[in-house]
């Protein structure tokens, strides 16, 4: 005995079963120190007792110590069992069991255990039950340590209530282990099997393990706080350091708070791999007012593998009825973190306290449920049902790859009053793979699960390289309650979504479920390079309840979407208001620096099937290509729709394309309504637009419609094209109504427009329609073309009605308009079934050509007219510097009880050749009038006619007031076939009227027929069964008023008589038929034949006071020569 130290030395120490070894000494002794020097293992199967006051007991044996099933300890304070060679004191002295002679009996306090030999003995607890007094310490230090019970039902027990258990397997080599506190991880092997290490009690106590390797099977390491006193500040409840690997099977390491006192942290550090399998768990629970422990795990790698009904994993949470908070769960993994087959990392709250956060950093992470339908593998923080606390934040910071597959989940959710936590995931690559398993959810999610739950948390992903979501996996959140779901924010280098064509949702989503009142969250994607959405994958927000769907915002370098013609599952980016919902769908805003490609049934859309409105859709890109496939039952489209059964409006679609927009082979861009809601509009600006139906019998193009059964109006289409707009092979731009509402307007502004069927028999062009059975009006169509407008090979621009509503007006403006081919042109029409009226047609250009059947037309075919509609005098107006009809037609036709439209033409140069026609015709009503003004009008083997062809109706008036009128086989007719009807009046007021072959026939009772090549010129207002119209021909220097019977002789030609025909055309010098007596012959051949105009002109035989006037001038010279030469001469 030296001071407060009592020393014992044994050459051998064994305690048999039923035996006792008792230390005794004075009360002032603080340390009872025993050593075993004989080199033999001490076997203790009896009771090791100390009756020395409150002294700590030290027993060292370099040969090792074994405590058997019968071993017990009965000491007043701490117990230190060690296989150390010596015990060192604070004054530097040593008490050695290896070299007794070198020992010093010191009065100082023990400081450390010295391990000096290369081979260090072990220490074994074999089925023992070692229980120390509350608040004390049990320390086990040796080269290797084993704690073994005989079975899970008969475990070895080491218990120090509220105290400390320290177990250190130091391994080989020299080492100093401090008496108080714990050292660094050793190199020895520690085995804990069927054993309990328990410091539960007031304050919770502490368990400290140090080893080179740890194997724990079917054991408990617990440090629960059973009282109201908090653990000491900074104290860890469980402190585990392993230099190598640690494998736990069926083992729990935990620290619970069962009272008001908090528990200390659980701190695990493993240099190699930490493995938890078969129900192993590390965690903390708060059951009352105390706070649960933080759980901190550091390892080279971690593998969590479930496979049992028991919880396998790492957790900190609060139980129902508690008010304390859960603790933090932090994992730091240098290499791979694996969470497999039902294993979990969770922080939850089921009480009033807060759930803890989860912070994970790792080299890579694999979370795989292995397809087991009876379990879920996850990382999650949840505010559980009945709780009022918030869920915690979940953060993963991974250098490499994260794989989530086969039913595995990362989640933050709330089923209580508290908020769901936020999710933050950072990685180089993130891959989610559902493996097509239909009854398992695979993905990253935030959820609001109850009516009264708090708000959902955000999902924030930051993936530097590639994000893949495939084969039934998803990222997203939803709300089932009154609170909104959290937002989804994703940044990635590239994004792949691939549904593999199965029936599972694959993609990114946020939705508000049926009966929910909360809004769905926003979805925001910022992708540095490409987004691929394939084979039924989706990016979507939706509402099924009264909450609104979230907004979708996407930025990327390029987007490729391919539905692979799957007839069952749509590949789409979508925001929808679903059936039964009252909330609105969200808007979609996409910005792409390069190309967007939609293929084979892929869709970008907003829509409503409920009471709410569809969202707007806005896309900005350098290039967009939308390519459909006739084999697909689903269209390839960009669309906003108000669908059948809904009451909400469709949204607007904005496309801003810097270069080219291509819509091909059954693809379309649309905003439509099939309900009481209004259709949205299309607003498109592009460098160029190419629409190509590829000859397939499916719609291709841009459309806005009010479909069958709808009552809302269709929206407008506004298209701005910097360069070429080309519509070919059955593609078209259209607005239409098939319901109660009106069709929208079409406005196109472009530098160059080309419409060409390329031989296809499908409608190609632009159209606004009021379809059969509809009640609304068709919309207006406006084309404004800076340079050239081409309408070729049967293409059309049209407005029409086949029902109650009116056709819309049509307006075309361009520098040049070229229309060529049979059935090519611009028209406003009312079809046979219509009761509405046709629209107006206005065309303005510098140059207009109608060739080979090209036309401008207004056609009224309706059998009856709705009497409630205000009568409308439709008009076809053309204004041009140069208008040429080469086998072309400008027509206004009526086959019903409404007058044909009027035609107004104003052109400085108007030519009709090769059977061209400017006509108005009617069958049951009056023909419309024709008014032509301008500079020159040349009619060659062509005609200008107004005709009432039925049993009633007057012929329309014709007013021709060009500066020059040239007829070369030209017919001008205002006829009627109706009984008692009147032919239209014809008024010609020109500076000159020139007729080929020196002959113009004026008048006639029977309608003359044009035969090309005969050179017959006719001006006629015939009415075989009624009154002929009045024909008035006015020339400035010639005014012949005659009867309707033409002169029997023809006029002579100039060519053989005059040397200067231009002089003959000069004002005051025109040829005339006058009563002049002698002197009618020119004095010399060089002078024109001219007489003073004060002589009396001759009238034709049979003239009366009610005669027409005509001015006839025959000219054998070509009009071109006349216009060029004579105009210069004047």
Residue 144: name the closest of 80, 215, 71, 76 by CA: 215
Q: How far apart are CA 823 and CA 1077, in angstroms?
A: 58
Q: How many helices (H) and strands (E) does the chain have?
A: 3, 86
pLDDT single digits (tens) 748-788: 999 999 999 998 889 999 999 988 988 888 899 999 999 99
Higher pLDDT, 348 or 677: 348
Provide, rounded to the nearest whole percent, the portion of the chain with pLDDT above 90: 58
Higher pLDDT, 724 or 1101: 724
Mean pLDDT of 384-391: 86
Instruction: Check pLDDT > 90 for residue 998.
Output: no
Instruction: Check pLDDT > 80 for residue 1048.
Output: no
pLDDT (0 to 100) of residue 1050: 45
pLDDT single digits (tens) 557-580: 999 999 998 878 889 999 988 888
Instruction: Check pLDDT > 70 for residue 1073.
Output: no
Element housing 1127 (H / E): helix 1127-1129
pLDDT (0 to 100) of residue 444: 94
pLDDT (0 to 100) of residue 233: 59
The pair of structure tokens assigned to 968 is 């070369």
- How confident is residue 117, by pLDDT bands cut at 50, 70 and 90? confident
pLDDT single digits (tens) 210-241: 999 999 999 999 999 998 888 775 688 999 99
pLDDT (0 to 100) of residue 589: 97
- How confident is residue 451, by pLDDT bands cut at 50, 70 and 90? confident
- How confident is residue 303, by pLDDT bands cut at 50, 70 and 90? very high
The answer to whether residues 669 and 679 touch, using CB atoms and an 8 Å cutoff, is no
pLDDT (0 to 100) of residue 234: 65
End-to-end CA distance of the chain: 147
Phi, psi of 1081 (to 5 degrees): -95, 145
- How confident is residue 1121, by pLDDT bands cut at 50, 70 and 90? very low
Element housing 1062 (H / E): helix 1061-1065
Range from 364-373, 669-678, 805-814 carrying the lowest mean pLDDT: 669-678
- How confident is residue 1103, by pLDDT bands cut at 50, 70 and 90? very low
pLDDT (0 to 100) of residue 675: 80
pLDDT (0 to 100) of residue 515: 79
Residue appearing with tokens 């609105």: 584
Strand 265-277 versus strand 636-642 pairing type: unpaired
Element housing 1032 (H / E): strand 1031-1034
Provide the H-helix boundaries in 1069-1126: 1119-1121
The burial of 867, by beta-carbon neighbours within 10 Å (0-12 exposed, 13-18 middle, 19 or more buried), is given as exposed
The model carries a pTM of 0.84
Instruction: Check pLDDT > 50 for residue 1042.
Output: no
Q: How far apart are CA 286 and CA 288, in angstroms?
A: 6
Q: What is the mean pLDDT of the chain?
A: 87
pLDDT single digits (tens) 130-173: 999 999 999 999 999 999 999 989 999 999 999 999 999 999 88
- How confident is residue 1035, by pLDDT bands cut at 50, 70 and 90? low
Mean pLDDT of 504-513: 89
pLDDT single digits (tens) 55-109: 999 999 999 999 999 999 999 999 999 999 999 999 999 999 989 988 888 999 9
Residue 505: name the closest of 478, 545, 466 by CA: 478
pLDDT (0 to 100) of residue 633: 63
The answer to whether residues 377 and 437 touch, using CB atoms and an 8 Å cutoff, is no
Instruction: Check pLDDT > 50 for residue 676.
Output: yes
Mean pLDDT of 279-303: 93
The answer to whether residues 573 and 532 touch, using CB atoms and an 8 Å cutoff, is no
Q: How far apart are CA 718 and CA 657, in angstroms?
A: 14
Mean pLDDT of 547-554: 91
Phi, psi of 401 (to 5 degrees): -100, 135
pLDDT (0 to 100) of residue 345: 95
pLDDT single digits (tens) 918-959: 999 888 888 889 999 999 999 999 999 988 777 777 778 999
Instruction: Check pLDDT > 80 for residue 722.
Output: yes
Instruction: Check pLDDT > 70 for residue 1055.
Output: no
Mean pLDDT of 813-828: 96
Instruction: Check pLDDT > 90 for residue 1046.
Output: no
Mean pLDDT of 1073-1088: 41
Mean pLDDT of 1110-1117: 33
pLDDT (0 to 100) of residue 870: 64
Q: How far is CA 792 from the centre of its chain?
A: 37
Q: How far apart are CA 766 and CA 701, in angstroms?
A: 10
Instruction: Check pLDDT > 70 for residue 1043.
Output: no
Cβ neighbors of 770 (< 8 A, separation 6 or more) are: 736, 737, 742, 743, 776, 777, 778, 800, 801, 802, 803, 804, 805, 806, 807, 834, 836
Instruction: Check pLDDT > 80 for residue 1117.
Output: no
Phi, psi of 880 (to 5 degrees): -155, 155
């Amino acid at each position: 005995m030296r001071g407060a130290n009592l020393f014992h030395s044994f050459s051998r120490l064994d305690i048999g079963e039923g035996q006792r070894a008792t230390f005794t000494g004075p009360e002032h002794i603080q340390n009872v120190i025993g050593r075993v020097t004989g080199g033999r293992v001490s076997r203790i199967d009896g009771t090791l007792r100390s009756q020395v006051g409150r002294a700590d007991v030290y027993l060292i044996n370099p040969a090792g110590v074994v405590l058997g099933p019968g071993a017990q300890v009965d000491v007043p304070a701490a117990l230190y069992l060690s296989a150390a060679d010596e015990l060192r004191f604070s004054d530097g002295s040593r008490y050695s069991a290896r070299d007794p002679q070198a020992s010093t009996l010191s009065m100082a306090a023990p400081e450390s255990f010295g391990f000096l030999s290369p081979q260090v003995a072990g220490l074994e607890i074999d089925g023992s039950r070692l229980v120390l007094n509350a608040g004390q310490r049990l320390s086990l230090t040796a080269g290797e340590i084993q704690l073994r019970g005989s079975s899970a039902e008969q475990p070895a027990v080491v218990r120090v209530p509220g105290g400390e258990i320290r177990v250190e397997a130091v391994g080989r080599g020299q080492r100093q282990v401090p008496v108080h506190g714990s050292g660094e991880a050793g190199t020895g092997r520690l085995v804990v099997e069927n054993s309990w290490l328990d410091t539960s009690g007031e304050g919770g106590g502490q368990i400290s393990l140090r080893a080179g390797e740890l194997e724990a099977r079917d054991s408990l390491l617990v440090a629960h706080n059973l009282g109201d006193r908090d653990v000491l500040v900074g104290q860890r409840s469980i402190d585990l350091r392993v230099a190598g690997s640690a494998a736990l099977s069926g083992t729990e390491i935990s620290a619970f708070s069962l009272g008001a006192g908090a528990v200390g942290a659980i701190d695990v550090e493993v240099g190699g791999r930490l493995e938890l399998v078969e129900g192993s768990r590390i965690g903390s629970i708060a059951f009352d007012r105390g706070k649960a422990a933080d759980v901190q795990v550091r390892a080279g790698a971690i593998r969590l593998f479930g496979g049992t009904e028991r919880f396998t994993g790492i957790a900190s949470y609060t139980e129902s009825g508690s008010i304390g908070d859960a603790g933090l769960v932090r994992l730091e993994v240098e290499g791979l973190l694996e969470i497999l087959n039902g294993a979990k990392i969770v922080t939850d709250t089921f009480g009033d306290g807060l759930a803890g956060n989860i912070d994970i950093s790792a080299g890579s992470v694999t979370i795989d449920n292995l397809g087991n339908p009876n379990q879920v593998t996850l990382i999650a923080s949840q505010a559980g049902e009945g709780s009022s606390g918030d869920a915690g934040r979940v953060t993963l910071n991974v250098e490499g790859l994260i794989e989530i597959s086969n039913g595995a989940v990362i989640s933050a959710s709330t089923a209580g009053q508290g908020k769901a936590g936020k999710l933050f995931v950072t990685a180089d690559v993130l891959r989610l793979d559902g493996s097509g398993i239909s009854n398992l959810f695979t993905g990253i999610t935030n959820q609001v699960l109850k009516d009264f739950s708090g708000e959902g948390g955000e999902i924030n992903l930051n993936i530097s390289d590639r994000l893949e979501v495939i084969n039934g996996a998803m990222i997203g959140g939803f709300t089932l309650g009154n609170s909104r779901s959290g937002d989804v924010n994703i940044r990635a280098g590239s994004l792949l979504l691939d549904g593999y064509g199965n029936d599972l949702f694959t993609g990114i989503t946020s939705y508000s479920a049926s009966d929910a009142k909360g809004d769905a969250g926003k979805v925001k994607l910022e992708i540095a390079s490409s987004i691929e959405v394939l084979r039924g994958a989706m990016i979507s927000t939706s509402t099924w309840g009264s909450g609104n769907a979230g907004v979708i915002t996407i930025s990327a370098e390029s987007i490729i979407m391919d539905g692979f013609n799957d007839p069952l599952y749509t590949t789409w980016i979508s925001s929808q208001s679903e059936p039964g919902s009252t909330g609105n769908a969200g808007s979609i805003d996409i910005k792409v620096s390069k190309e967007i490609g939609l293929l084979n049934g892929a869709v970008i859309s907003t829509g409503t099937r409920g009471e709410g409105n569809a969202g707007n859709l806005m896309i900005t890109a350098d290039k967009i290509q939308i390519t459909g496939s006739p084999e697909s039952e689903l269209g390839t489209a960009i669309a906003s729709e108000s669908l059948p059964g809904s009451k909400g409006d469709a949204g607007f679609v904005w496309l801003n394309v810097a270069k080219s927009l291509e819509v091909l082979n059954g693809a379309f861009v649309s905003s439509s309504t099939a309900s009481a809601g209004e259709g949205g509009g299309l607003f498109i600006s592009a460098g160029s637009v190419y629409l190509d139906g590829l000859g397939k019998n499916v719609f291709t193009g841009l459309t806005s419609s009010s479909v069958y059964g709808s009552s809302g109006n269709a929206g407008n289409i506004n298209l701005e094209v910097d360069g070429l707009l080309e519509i070919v092979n059955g593609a078209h731009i259209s607005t239409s109504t098939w319901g109660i509402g009106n069709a929208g307007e079409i406005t196109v502004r472009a530098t160059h427009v080309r419409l060409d069927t390329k031989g296809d028999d499908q409608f190609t062009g632009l159209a606004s329609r009021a379809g059969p059975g509809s009640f609304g009006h068709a919309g207006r169509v406006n084309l404004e073309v800076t340079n050239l407008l081409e309408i070729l090979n049967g293409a059309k621009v049209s407005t029409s009605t086949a029902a109650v509503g009116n056709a819309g007006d049509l307006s075309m403006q361009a520098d040049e308009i070229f229309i060529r081919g049979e059935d090519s042109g611009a028209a406003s029409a009312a079809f046979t079934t219509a009761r509405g009226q046709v629209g107006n047609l206005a065309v303005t250009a510098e140059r207009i050509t109608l060739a080979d059947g090209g036309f401008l037309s207004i056609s009224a075919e309706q059998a009856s007219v709705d009497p409630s509609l205000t009568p409308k005098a439709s008009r076809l107006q053309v204004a041009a510097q140069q208008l040429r009809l080469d086998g072309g037609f400008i027509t206004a036709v009526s086959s019903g009880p409404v007058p044909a439209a009027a035609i107004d033409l104003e052109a400085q140069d108007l030519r009709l050749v090769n059977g061209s026609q400017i006509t108005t015709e009617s069958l049951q009503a009056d023909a419309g009038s024709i008014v032509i003004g301008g500079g020159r009008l040349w009619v060659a083997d062509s005609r200008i006619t107004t005709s009432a062809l039925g049993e009633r109706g007057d012929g329309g008036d014709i007013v021709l007031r060009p500066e020059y009128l040239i007829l070369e086989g030209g017919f001008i007719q205002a006829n009627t076939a109706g009984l008692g009807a009147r032919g239209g009046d014809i008024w010609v007021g020109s500076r000159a009227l020139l007729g080929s072959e020196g002959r113009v026939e004026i008048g006639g009772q029977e309608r003359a027929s044009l035969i090309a090549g005969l050179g017959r010129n006719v001006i006629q207002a015939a009415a075989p069964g009624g009154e002929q119209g009045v024909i008035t021909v006015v020339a400035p220097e010639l005014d012949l008023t005659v009867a309707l019977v033409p002169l029997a002789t023809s006029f002579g030609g100039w060519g053989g008589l005059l040397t200067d025909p231009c002089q003959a055309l000069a004002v005051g010098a025109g040829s005339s038929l006058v009563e002049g007596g002698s002197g009618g012959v020119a004095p010399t051949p060089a002078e024109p034949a001219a007489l003073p105009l004060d002589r009396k002109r001759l009238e034709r035989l049979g003239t009366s006071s009610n005669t027409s006037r005509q001015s006839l001038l025959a000219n054998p010279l070509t009009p071109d020569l006349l216009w060029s030469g004579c105009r210069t001469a004047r």
